[in-house]
Amino acid sequence: MSIVDYNSINKHIKELHTKNLKLDESTGAKYIESLRSSILGSNKLDKINSIVVLAKILEFLPPSDLINGLFDSKLFANIFEVASNDTVANESLRSALRISLTFLSGVIPVNRSADVFNALLVEAHNNYELLENLSNKLFDQDLRIGSNIIDFVTKLLYRSYELKEDSFIIFSVKNLMNAQFFTNLSILPDSNKAELERLGFLANLNKSVCLIKTYLMGLKLNTKIDCHHFILTDLLEAITYSINESGTATVEEYTNYGLTATPSKFIVDNYSVLTVVQMKCFLKSPNITFKKQYFEHTMFANENSYFPLGNFGHTISRLLDNVDIQDYPNLEHIFYAFNNEIYYMLMFKALNIWISSRAETEDYDKTMKVLGSVLQLVDELLENLSLDEALESLNEMEYDQLKKYQIERLKKSKNDSWSPLTANFNKDIANQALNFVKDQRFLELSKGSWVYTENPTEVTKANKKQTHYFVILSSNNQSLIYKEFPKRTAEAPNIDKDGTKIEFNQILKIDSTPLTSDATSSKLISINSRLNINKISITTKSYRIFEFFVDTRELLYIWLDGSRMLINDNSDLSDDTKYQVDSLTKIRSEIQLIDLDEKTDITEEFKFKEADLAGLTAGFYYN
């Protein structure tokens, strides 16, 4: 077959484009063979120009098994060599990606065999230089470059998944993660991400990522498979080096690490293939913050307090695997399962929590529960922050803040689970809290109080002699009794027989009038301003008014709210009393609901009944 130079081919393509014609199979194969020869040659300029022309000719080729056979692994090896160069021109990179995407779309062959995509997959899956350069090129200002790269990775993962070829899948994911592909994708400018989302590229990538994640998470290590054996050995070497830079570790050191005396068996028994990949990428991270804190921790840890890094490795992986996107909608956009920053952050926070809480071996599950709340918090932060901002905000949070968030989240979860059935329950709780406060007020009323017959500040100004009322609740709780005294006595007087009574069933309303301004509103504090003087007026149905004065908030709430409660008027209680009732209701409700299991589906055949809730209130007393 005679060789046709790329310039002649390019000229012919332009003519075909003008006339809207296609190539026949023979001519197409001849052109591909010529371009292939140049791409495999040593002349760099010819190689690059031939790749650009090859990308152009694709739309003019007829479906052909003959032509498809010319796209072999040698051709893709040379194309990817050009695409791996960090100085590659955008046109050349787009051409390399266009060739790859056309091949992966499966439109060239007439008959598609199971291994039809192997020529490309063999050369791409373990080509770290290629995937690293593509990862870095995501930030190119030309959005076409970014969209082509994402499309390429999407199809690379999907075709690997279709084959269920573990080596293709494992090394593609490992190299993409090591190249920070998913992390870089998560921190793209918002405008870029919005456009990529609009065009559907991110959604398509997410579909491939979900398929791969599910496959790798369910895949157990089989050391008889070469790629499985390789990643296991690779991880063990990384673990050993992280324990001791000399490259050796003792049984005790492996055990403290959380891997038991036989680390390879522990990993095979407990780690999924995805966990192995995630853990290896974590240990390879150039970020030394974790390593520094971890080594400082191991210097002072004892047998029971060592941070079990190996254990956290697979439980964090499971935590990510169990993420329900409906509950964590913002995590989907950062490709959480393959995002190095998310895995690193969770491991780093696990270590922080372990150290801050002075945890020991038996506290492992408790630490993981807090870590689950951390993941929820990340999702919430991502609602308004970029990934970098969210992680920075999280890094600034101390253990106590995370624990508080966990508790609040637990309360909310319980409340959300039971809210459809808690209306009557909460009403009962509120009534009981109100009755408890009412009982407190009644108790104070039954003790009686010394109050003023006149405004004490006015009496002082007029140099008059102050007189007092002693006011008390009658023994049958049916009336108020009061009597005037020229001065207070040390002991409470008995006025049941000679005091004036106001029957509660005759009371029309009870009001109060503040007579002193709030002391906090003035910088000048006098003795008078320290008093909190209020006039309480009790109006009977016969329009008789009984007035007295109190000089403390405590007395105000006792007599104003207490008297109102006695006549069953709870509509206009003071803010302080309302706050007390609401606080007691909230505390009581939250404590009681802790005893209830969370319920995921209110429509399940077994439904919780209000009797379950009502039963919780039985025998409960405030102390």
Q: Which of 55-64, 108-117, 323-332 is predicted with the least confidence, judged by mean pLDDT?
A: 323-332
| C-alpha span between 196 and 149 (Å, rounded) | 11
Nearest one of 317, 365, 367 to 342, comparing CA atoms:
317
Per-residue pLDDT reduced to its tens digit, 424-445: 677 777 788 888 888 888 888 8
Q: Which of 187-191, 277-281, 409-413, 554-558 has the highest mean pLDDT?
A: 277-281
pLDDT given for residue 415 in this prediction: 66
pLDDT given for residue 368 in this prediction: 93
Asked if the model's pLDDT at residue 595 lies above 80, the reply is: no
Structure tokens at 406: 């966990």
pLDDT given for residue 593 in this prediction: 59
- 527 against 496, higher pLDDT: 496
| C-alpha span between 316 and 367 (Å, rounded) | 11
pLDDT given for residue 607 in this prediction: 41
**568: alpha, beta or left, given left = phi > 0 and alpha = psi -120 to 50?**
left
| C-alpha span between 151 and 141 (Å, rounded) | 17
Give the domain ranges of the chain. 6-217, 231-397, 439-571
Q: Is 1.25.40 the CATH classification of the domain at 6-217? A: no
Rounded to an integer, the average pLDDT of 292-318 is 92
Asked if the model's pLDDT at residue 84 lies above 90, the reply is: yes
pLDDT given for residue 594 in this prediction: 56
Asked if the model's pLDDT at residue 574 lies above 80, the reply is: no
Per-residue pLDDT reduced to its tens digit, 313-369: 999 999 998 898 888 999 988 999 999 999 999 999 999 999 999 999 999 999 999
Phi, psi of 610 (to 5 degrees): -65, -20
Asked if the model's pLDDT at residue 617 lies above 50, the reply is: no
Place of tokens 């409470």: 492
Rounded to an integer, the average pLDDT of 589-599 is 58
CA 19 to chain centre: 57
Sheet with 507-514, side-by-side order of all strands: 500-503, 479-485, 468-473, 449-452, 545-550, 534-540, 507-514
Q: Which of 74-78, 218-222, 421-425, 598-602 is predicted with the least confidence, judged by mean pLDDT?
A: 598-602
Nearest one of 275, 269, 339 to 309, comparing CA atoms:
275
- 176 against 563, higher pLDDT: 176
From the CB of residue 106, how many other CB atoms can be counted at a distance below 10 Å? Answer: 14
Q: Which of 126-140, 152-166, 500-514 is predicted with the least confidence, judged by mean pLDDT?
A: 500-514
| Spatial CB neighbours of 23, under 8 Å, sequence gap ≥ 6 | 16, 31, 57, 60, 61, 62
Structure tokens at 175: 């190299």
Alpha helix locations (H) across 187-272?
Answer: 190-198, 201-217, 226-243, 251-256, 263-270
Asked if the model's pLDDT at residue 492 lies above 60, the reply is: yes
Per-residue pLDDT reduced to its tens digit, 441-489: 888 889 999 999 999 888 878 778 889 999 999 988 889 999 999 999 9
| pLDDT confidence tier of residue 264, bands split at 50, 70 and 90 | very high
| C-alpha span between 43 and 61 (Å, rounded) | 26
Q: Which amino acid is at 83?
A: A
Residue pair 510/563 in contact (Cβ under 8 Å)? The answer is yes
Three-class DSSP category at 31: helix
Could you tell me what percent of the chain has a pLDDT over 70? 89
Could you tell me what percent of the chain has a pLDDT over 90? 65
| C-alpha span between 519 and 416 (Å, rounded) | 43
Q: Is 1.10.260.40 the CATH classification of the domain at 439-571? A: no
User: DSSP for 64-100?
Assistant: -HHHHHTS-HHHHHHHHHHHT-TT--HHHHHHHHHHH
| C-alpha span between 252 and 250 (Å, rounded) | 5
User: DSSP for 467-518?
Assistant: -EEEEEE-TTSSEEEEEEESS--SS----TTTSEEEEGGGEEEEEEEE-S--
